Structure 1
Amino acid sequence: MFLRHLRLQDFRSWESLDIDLEPGVTVFVGANGRGKTNILEAVGYLATLSSHRVSSDQPLIRSGAESALIAATAINDGRELTVDLTVHAGRANKARLRQSPVRRTREILGVVQSVIFAPEDLALVRGDPGERRRYLDELMTARRPRLAGVRADYDKVLRQRSALLKSAGPAMRDGGRGSDGASALATLEVWDGHLAAYGSEIIAARMELVGELAPHLTGSYASIAPESQAASLGYRCSLAEDMPPEPSSDAVAGLEKAMHAALARVRTREIARGVCLVGPHRDDLELRLGEHPVKGYASHGESWSFALAMRLAAFELLRQDGTEPILILDDVFAELDRRRRSALARVAGQTEQVLVTAAVPEDVPEGLRGRQYVVTMRDRGDLGRASTIAAAPCASRSGDDDAGGSPGPDDAEVTGDGG
C-alpha cells in the first residue's frame, strides 16, 4: 500500500498542503515546531481516526478555522481509492469515499493502513493501561473495521451506565427499597445486558489478537535485544475470577456470561463508588521480560526495545493479513541507538512506502535517505507564521548538510498558517 497524493487544509500548522508521493522512502526534514510531524499525523489519523499525539480533535484544526480537511489517494495492490475526512471541533466529523459521503466516519477504516513509530511510544510500556488498550483497539479495528462500531456502542452504553450510577446511586443503596431506587435498579439491569453484550465481543477480539501478536512480539524483541530475557505478551482481563474453569466453545457467549456474573459481584461497590468496575475499559496488557513485568523492572533501553517490538509486531501482523501498511517513522532515530536504528531500517527497507521525519538529515540511517523535503516556517505578518515545504536540493538527498538551503527554481512550495 502507498499514498499517491495527500492534501491538507487547515490541519494543524498547514493552511494548505498539496503533495504527490511515491513508493519508497520520503523524508521530511526540519527543526522542531515547523510542521513536519503534522503531515505524518494526518496520514495516521486517516488510518485510525485518532491522533498519536492528542486525545481530542480540537488541536488538529488550525487556529481561526472551523474545520480541517485530510484527503488522500491510496493505491493498494493496483487498486486506487480516494478518501477524505473533515474534522470538526465539537461535532461529528464527516468522511467521503470515492467522492461519495459515508454514513459514519468509521466506514473509511481500512482504506489507509499505517503503523507509526514515534517518541510517544515509550508510553506503551511506561504509561497507564489506557495507552495499551488504545494500541490493541486501533490494531483490532484496522484488521476488522466492523469492531469500530462495537467499540462505539460499548462506549455509549458505558457513559449512560456510569451516569446512572452517579445520579441514582443513593436511591439504589440498601437494595433500592423506594420506588425511585427500584426503577433505577431496573434500568441498571438493562444497561448491564447491553454492556455485557458489547463488552464480551471486544474482550474476545482482543484476546484473539493478543494470541496472534505474542509470537511476533517475542521474535521482534529478540532481534532487537538478543542479549535480553525473552519478551512475552498477555491479556489481563477484569473478568478473570468470574471465568468458568472450562472455556466455552463460543468465546463471546462465555465472556458475556462471565461479565454478567462480574457485574452482579461488584454491584454494591459500583453503586457506592458511582463507577463501572468491570469490562474492557478496565483491562490491560501484561508485558513481561522473563518472569518480570516490564513496567518498573526494565531499563530505559529495554523499555524502548519493548515498545519498538510492539510496533514491529503490529506491522508484521498487518502484513501477514495481505496488506503492507505504510510505515511512519516520526522523529524516532534520534531516540534510538545503533542496534534499534538498524532493526527499523531492516523493516523499512522491505516496505512499499516509508514516511520519515527528522530534525537533521544525519539522524536518518544512510539506507533510508530517499526523496527529501525541507519543512520550514515563514512569517506572514498579521496572519501569523506559515508552514512551507520544498523539495530538497539534490545534494541534501544524499545527506549533505545543506538540507535547509533555499529551494531551487523548480521546487514547488506550499504554505499554511502556523498554529
Structure 2
Amino acid sequence: MHMTHLQLVDFRSYPSLELTLPPGVVTFVGSNGQGKTNLLEAVGYVATLGSHRVSGDVPLIREGAEHAVIRSRVVRGERAALAEIEILPGRANRVRLNRRQLSRPRELLGLLSVVLFAPEDLQMVKGDPAARRQFLDELLVARSPRLAGVIADYERVLRQRTTLLRARGDLRTLDSWDESLVRHGAELLSARLALVDELRPQIAAAYAAVAGAETSTPVGVDYRCSVPLPEGADREAIADAMLAELATLRPREVERGVTLAGPHRDELVLSVGGRPARGYASHGESWSLALALRLAAFELLGADDRGPVLLLDDVFAELDTHRRRRLAELVAPAEQVLITAAVDADVPAELGGPRFTVRTGEVSLAD
C-alpha cells in the first residue's frame, strides 16, 4: 500500500499543492514552521479522518479560507483509488471515493493505513492513560474500521449518561442508559483485550530490536480494567460484569456526577524491568518503548495485509545515534516511508530516496 498523489487546497499553510509520491522512502527537509508536518498530517487525515495534532477540524483550514480539500490516490496491489475530502467548518465533511460521494465520511476508513511516529509519542509512555487508550483504539479502527462506529456510539452514550448524572435528572432512566453503555462498552473492551494479547509479544520483540545489544531489560504490557472480570471472559461475561459493577457504583456515581466504570476508565500498563514505565523509565527507555508501540502496530497491520504507510515526523532529531540507526533499519523495508526533518543530517544514511525541500508552504525536489 502506498500513496502516489497528494493534492491540498487551503489545507493549513498550503493554498495549493500537488505532489507525486513514489513508493519507498521520501524525505521532506525544512526549518521548523515551514509546513513539513502539515504534509504528514494531511496523509494521516486520509487514513483516520482526524489530526494527530488537534482535536477539531477548524485549525486545518488555511486562515481566510472557507474550507479545505485533500485529494489523494492510494494504490494497494494492482488497484488504485481516489479519495477526496472536503473539510467544512461547522458542518459535516464531504467525502468522495472514486468520484462517488459517501453517505458517511467514516466509510472511507480502511482505504489507507498509516502508522505515525512523532515526538508526541513519548506521551504514550510518560503521559496520562488517555494517550494509551487512544493508541489502542486507533489501532483497532485501522484493523477493523467498523469499530469506529462502536467507539463513537460508546462515547455518545457515555456523554449522555454522564450529563444525566450531573444534572440529577430522572435517574429512573439510568437502567436503559446502562444497557446501552454496556452493549457498546463490552464490544470495545473485548476488542481491546484481544488486541493487547496480540501486541504483547510484538512490543517485547520491537523493544529488543530498538534497544539492541545495550539492554536485555524485559518490558511488560498489561491491560488494567476498571471492571472486575472473570478469567477468560467473553463478550457476554464482560457485559454481565459491567452491568454488575455499574449497579454497585451507582450511589457513588450519582453523588459525584460521573461514570466510574467502563473502557474510558481503563489503563494500558507499560513496565520496564518490572517497574511502571510512567515515572520510572529513563528517557532512553521511554523512547525505546514508544518506538516499540509504533513498530508493533506496523507489524500487526502488515500481518493483516494492510501494510501501512509509515510517517516519521521529525522523530530522528529526538533520538540518539544508536536509536536512529536501529529505527532506520527497521522501517526501511516498508512499502512507503514519509519522513520530515529539520536538517538533512538528521536522517540516517541508510534511508535513501528522493528528498524535498519545504519552504513557506512550497515543496520542491532538492538538488
Q: 1:179 corresponds to which residue?
A: none
Which of 281, 284, 289 lines up with 1:298 in the alignment? 281
CA contact (8 A) 2:226 2:266 kept: yes
Query: For residues 16-55 of structure 1, what are the structure 2 equivalents within 5 Å?
Result: 16-55=16-55
Contact 2:165–2:171, Cα closer than 8 Å, also in 1: no
Moved over 3 A (4+): none
SS for the counterpart of 1:266 is helix
RMSD: 1.2
Aligned position for 2:218: 230
Change in CA separation of 1:228 and 1:302 when aligned onto 2, cut-off 3 Å: farther
Rounded Cα–Cα distance in structure 1 between residues aligned with 2:273 and 2:189: 25
Mapping of residues 8-407 of structure 1, within 5 Å: 8-168=8-168, 184-226=170-212, 227-240=215-228, 243-244=229-230, 246-248=231-233, 251-377=234-360, 387-393=361-367
Displacement of 1:349 after TM fit?
1.7
1:324-359 deviation digits (Å, cap 9, x = unpaired): 110111101111112211222112221111101011
Contact preservation (8 Å) 2:49, 2:106 = yes
- State the TM-score, normalizing by the size of structure 2: 0.97
- TM-score normalised according to structure 1 size: 0.85
**Structure 1: distance between partners of 2:317 and 2:152:** 37
**Cα distance in structure 1, aligned partners of 2:303 and 2:332:** 17
TM-fit CA distance, 1:274: 0.8
Tell me by how many angstroms 1:186 deviates. 2.3
Between the aligned partners of 1:102 and 1:264, the Cα distance in structure 2 is 41
The percent of aligned pairs where both chains have the same amino acid is 53
Q: CA deviation at 1:280?
A: 0.8
* Runs (5+) with no aligned partner, structure 2: none
Distance 2:330 2:114 in 1: 14
Q: In structure 1, how many angstroms separate the alpha carbons of the residues matched to 2:342 and 2:352? A: 13
Residues in 2 aligned to 1:65 and 1:232: alpha-carbon distance in whole angstroms: 48
**One-letter amino acid of the counterpart of residue 365, structure 1:** P
C-alpha displacement of 1:104:
1.3
User: Per-residue CA shift, 1:107-147, capped at 9, x if unaligned?
Assistant: 11110111111111001001111111111101000100111
- Contact kept? 1:247, 1:254, Cα under 8 Å: no
Whether the 8 Å CA contact 2:329–2:350 is kept in 1: the answer is no
SS of 1:51's equivalent in the other structure is coil
Distance 2:248 2:111 in 1: 42
Secondary structure of the 1:276 match is coil
| Partner-residue secondary structure (3-state), 1:27 | strand
